[in-house]
């Protein structure tokens, strides 16, 4: 999406999450601006990002992927014919737990989950050990890019 500003639909469905909408839009714009470094990046069109509770994301996981177990990120491909790039659904609860275990900040973990979904839409997968290694390297590159661009959004759980 070089040069174009991507339409975004940001939904905060987590009752305690304070969402940095401007920061998140900036982070996604930075990823889009460097899409060539990531297999061409996320397809053009509106990108939807939803922040959910564990329970809400588990319901989606069960309904669409036949696995009702909690998860951290689910990505749905969009449809070019309808002008959509896709949807990234993120569990703020999973990010908070992981940030607590790793002693890392919640903002970094949530950003990682959004990056992970964006990379899925760009064509990366993590179904095999080799593909997972490629995905992890791309995630690390993307997070470095966002840090250099000072485009890391800030999130907080109240």
pLDDT at 92: 97
Q: What is the DSSP code string of 7-46?
A: PEEEEE--TTEE--HHHHHHHHHHHHHTGGGGTT-SPSSE
* Rounded mean pLDDT, 21-47: 96
Give the whole-angstrom CA distance, residue 86 versus residue 88: 7
CATH 3.40.390.30 for domain 8-157: yes
State residue 101's pLDDT score: 74
User: Based on C-alpha coordinates, what's the Rg of the chain?
Assistant: 15
Give the whole-angstrom CA distance, residue 101 versus residue 33.
32
With a pLDDT cut of 90, the percent of the chain lying above it is 91
DSSP H or E run through 49: strand 46-52
Helices (runs of H) and strands (runs of E) counted in the chain: 5, 6
> How high is the pLDDT of residue 100?
81
pLDDT tier for residue 103 given thresholds of 50, 70 and 90: low
Task: For 66-90, write each residue's pLDDT tens digit.
Answer: 999 889 999 999 999 999 999 999 9
In this prediction, what percent of the chain has a pLDDT beyond 70? 96
What pLDDT is recorded for position 37?
A: 96
Please give the Cα distance from 59 to 54 (Å, whole number).
Answer: 9
Query: Quick one: pLDDT band at residue 104, thresholds 50, 70, 90?
Result: low
Tokens 């061409």 sit at which residue?
40
């Amino acid at each position: 999406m070089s040069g174009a500003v991507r339409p975004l639909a940001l939904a905060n469905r987590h009752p305690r999450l304070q969402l940095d909408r401007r920061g998140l839009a900036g982070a996604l714009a930075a990823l889009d601006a460097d899409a060539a470094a990531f297999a061409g990046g996320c397809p053009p069109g509106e990108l939807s990002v939803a922040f959910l509770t564990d329970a809400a994301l588990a319901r989606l996981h069960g309904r669409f992927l036949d696995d009702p177990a909690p998860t951290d990120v689910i990505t749905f491909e969009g449809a070019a014919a309808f002008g959509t790039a896709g949807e990234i659904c993120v569990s703020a609860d999973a990010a908070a737990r992981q940030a607590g275990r790793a002693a890392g900040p919640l903002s970094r973990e949530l950003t990682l989950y959004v990056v992970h979904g964006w990379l899925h839409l760009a064509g990366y997968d993590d179904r095999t050990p080799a593909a997972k290694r490629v995905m992890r390297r791309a995630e690390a590159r993307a997070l470095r890019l966002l840090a250099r661009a000072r485009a890391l959004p800030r999130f907080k759980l109240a």
